[in-house]
Amino acid sequence: MKIAACIKRVPTTEAQAKIGSDGKSLDSAGFQYMPSFYDEIAVEEAIKTKEKLGGDVTVLTLGPQDASKELREFIARGADAGAILVDPAWHARDARSTAKALAKKIGALGAELVFLGRVATDRDNAAVGPMLATYLGWACVTEVVSIEITAGKGVAKRETEHGVETVEFALPAVITCNKGLNEPRRPNLKGIMAAKSKPIAEEPAEAVANQTVVEKVELPPARKAGRIVGEGAAAVPALIKALREEAQVL
Amino acid sequence: MATIVVYVEQENGKPIRASLECLGAARAAAGSQGASVVAVVARAGAKDAAAKLGAFGAAKVVCLVGAARPSADATARDVARVVRDQKASAFLAAATATGKDLAPRVAADLDVTLFSDCTGFEAQGGSFRVVRPWLAGKAIATLSTQAPVLCATTRPNAFAIAEVGGTAEILDVAASDDGKAIVTSVAPKPGGKLDVKEAPVVVSGGRGLKAPEHFKLIEDLAAAFGNAATGASRAVVDAGWRPHAEQVGQTGKTVAPQLYIAVGISGAIQHLAGMRTSKVIVAINKDAEAPIFKIADYGIVGDAFEVVPALAKAVQEVKAHK
């Protein structure tokens, strides 16, 4: 079975936001990057599925040319190939234009099963997975915490605010992965050596105009200065008074 | 006249609070445009929920009835059809697990982009724009779309419910029953615990609690409020002390409750990003220099093991006298 895992390069969680000089973007000068946290879980599930059912895993990203660095890291863990849909303006793509470009490539790869993280921790839209599935006309289960794939179909569980849903679906399918689904493995030395000779294909990402118009980007309003109401359990009455009378939330 | 379509989630015939807030967001923006709000409800209980929505700002309710096999993809196709039929210029759903699952599919069906977890939605001229966090709230973006329909999900607790007290025209439409992925069962959460994203009060614990069994303190304080959910920092979720569903922060959930109480949480930037838009923040920490105090409205410097039980008792007393 052909399996794909999609990853996205995002600023590290320690990154501080600085507004770009146009007031409509983030200044990326100080950013360090990493694959989005949930993508590791997606790639792990793709590799586990291959190990169980056979086939091969392609790790796919829409990003800059040097995203090959992240792809090699995942190939070292057990993926078979990488593919970059190159777009120098990757970080400004909106959910629709990303999903459409990925859908085209997934179709060309002939994949039957695609794993993504439940959300990319930069724009936090959690939209590309289900949009991709819709463009492909495939089944999709989001925020999955457990999954069982057998010949041609699968059963997945997803957590909602009210409980755990069990969802049955037929392949082909798009799955977005939540924490708890698996424990991502680390690459070993053999994998790292082998990854050097594995193919990473590059092609321009399909040009799809963004619909999103960024009107402005700002830092969040500073919270007004708070105060220490006291020390230890003795401060509790002062806190209660403040919550009731000043803040009026109790 | 412009129309805004809102997907309203319901449980046993009762619209959920986050969806009523979403309806409120639509109503507020529609008001300035002379636009009308059309709600869509689906699944068993839809008819009962539909009858309640006129009071919360819906002029019309489309009831998707008759589907035996609940499926997000089938519902999304039906909802997209309603958006087209109504010639709507905006589509909203609440940013719950269900809404976040549904809205991107509706958007893709309409071939338009999606703005998730918005904290603002307003009319501007003849069109709409949204405000939403980037990098889990480290930056705030104001966005509009060139697409004919603006699709967005609204963050729970970020919009006011509109109690307008009207009645809505109700229209039944046959729901599609050809889903590709089918929900075959739902195991309810034990004890009907509130979710950290929806609760008006969140009590979160971090490494300062020293051991997983000490989260009893957090649970007791949450129970004293009665309307509180328990949350956790990334450190304690990674350590396996608490479930991921409770994690607040950039790789967990972004929350905006009326009151957020951080206990034994130092305040790493990725945690602050996930809770800084809370209305009131209280921090309880032994370390007076902890970064959490910089964004807290009220702080107590002290040992959680002394402060939290005393606070739980005091909250209980206040609640008992109400």
Task: Tell me, yes or no, whether A194 and A239 share the same domain.
Answer: no
If asked whether residues A62 and A143 sit together in one domain, one would say yes
Angle formed by the axes of helices A128-136 and A95-109, to 10°? 50
Q: How far is CA A169 from CA B74, B77, B92, B128, B178, in A?
A: 13, 17, 26, 36, 12
CATH number of the domain residue B195 falls in? 3.40.50.1220
Host H or E run for residue B106: helix B97-109
Taking residue A186's Cβ as centre, other Cβ atoms within 10 Å add up to 8
Q: B3 CA to chain A: closest CA distance, Å?
A: 20
Q: Do A215 and B129 touch (CB under 8 A)?
A: yes
B117 bridge partner residues? none
Residues A189 and A236 placed together within one structural domain of the fold: no
CB atoms within 10 A of CB B13: 15
Answer whether residue A85 is part of any domain.
yes
**Interface contact flag, B298 A178, Cβ < 8 Å:** no
A244 plus A125 within the same structural domain: no
Q: Are A250 and B259 in contact (CB under 8 A)?
A: yes
Q: What percentage of chain B carries pLDDT values higher than 90?
A: 88
Are residue A243 and residue A123 in the same domain, yes or no? Answer: no
- Residue A223 DSSP class: P
A94/B contact by beta carbon, under 8 A: yes
Read off the pLDDT of each residue in B43-64 and give the average, rounded to a whole number.
96
- Residue B179 located in a structural domain: no
Partner residue opposite A169 with nearest CB, options B133, B139, B180: B180
Q: In angstroms, rounded to a whole number, what is the distance separating the alpha carbons of residues B83 and B77?
A: 10
C-alpha separations of B234 from A164, A169, B206, B244 in Å: 22, 32, 8, 8
Is residue B40 in some structural domain? yes
Show the domain range for A62. 2-204
Same domain? B207 vs B309 = yes
What CATH number does residue A26 fall under? 3.40.50.620
Q: Contact, B113 vs A95, CB < 8 A?
A: yes
In this structure, the answer to whether residues B198 and B310 fall within a common structural domain is yes
The secondary structure element, H or E, covering residue B107 is: helix B97-109
Tally of structural domains, chain B: 2
Whole-structure pTM value: 0.93
The token pair at A63 is 């990003």
Which of B14, B16, B19, B73 has the highest number of chain A CBs within 10 A, making it the mutation to test binding with A? B73
Cβ pairs bridging A and B (under 8 Å): 276
- Chain A, window 125-154: residues with a beta carbon less than 8 angstroms from a chain B beta carbon: 125-135, 138-143
Contact A201, A83 (CB under 8 A): yes
pLDDT in tens, A160-207: 988 899 999 999 999 999 999 999 999 999 999 999 999 999 999 999
Any A CB within 8 A of B104 CB = yes
Query: Using the 8-state DSSP alphabet, how is residue A106 labeled?
Result: H
Using CA coordinates, name the residue in chain A closest to B271.
A13
Q: Is residue A111 part of a domain?
A: yes
Q: Are A178 and A59 in contact (CB under 8 A)?
A: no
Are B221 and B261 a contacting pair, CB within 8 Å?
A: yes
Q: CB-CB: which of A155, A215, A229 is closest to B298?
A: A229
Tell me the shortest Cα–Cα distance from B41 to chain A, in angstroms: 18
The minimum CA-CA distance between B62 and chain A, rounded to whole Å, is 23
The total number of structural domains in chain A stands at: 2
Helix (H/G/I), strand (E/B), else coil: B137? helix
Does some domain include residue A122?
Answer: yes
Which one-letter DSSP state was computed for residue A243?
I
pLDDT tens by residue, B276-305: 989 999 999 999 999 999 999 999 999 999
Q: Which of B250, B298, B307 is closest, CB to CB, to A242?
A: B298
Name the average pLDDT for chain A.
96
Of A100, A34, A131, A160, the closest CA to residue B115 belongs to: A131
Residues B234 and B141 in one domain: no
Mean pLDDT of B5-23: 96
Contact B72 A168 (CB under 8 A): no
Q: Are residues B159 and B280 in the same domain?
A: no
Contact B48, B35 (CB under 8 A): no
> Do B31 and B148 have their domain in common?
yes
What is the C-alpha to C-alpha distance for residues B110 and B114, in angstroms, rounded to an integer?
Answer: 10
| B68 in any annotated domain | yes
CA atoms within 13 A of residue A49's CA, in its CB half-sphere: 30
Shared domain for B40 and B164, answered yes or no, is yes
Instruction: Indicate if A43 and A136 belong to the same structural domain.
Output: yes
Q: Which residue among B105, B141, B298 sits closest to A239, beta carbon to beta carbon?
A: B298
CA dist., res. B66 & res. B175, Å (int): 6
Instruction: Specify the CATH number for the domain of residue B132.
Output: 3.40.50.620
| Per-residue pLDDT at B191 exceeds 80 | no
pLDDT tier at B1 (50, 70, 90 boundaries)? low
B228 domain-assigned: yes
| Residue spans of beta strands (DSSP E) within chain A | 2-7, 9-11, 33-35, 56-63, 81-86, 113-117, 139-150, 153-159, 163-170, 173-177, 200-204, 212-218, 227-231
Could you tell me if residue A165 is inside a domain?
Answer: yes
pLDDT tens readout for residues A38-94: 999 999 999 999 999 999 999 999 999 999 999 999 999 999 999 999 999 999 999
Q: Give residue-wise pLDDT tens across range B119-140.
A: 999 998 888 999 999 998 899 9
Give contacts of B107 with chain A, Cβ < 8 Å: 95-96, 127, 131
Residue A249 domain-assigned?
yes
> Which domain does B212 fall in, by range?
190-320
B184/A167 CB distance under 8 A:
yes
Query: Are residues A249 and B279, on separate chains, in Cβ contact within 8 Å?
Result: yes
Min distance A243 CA to chain B CA atoms (Å): 9
Structure tokens at A8: 């996205």
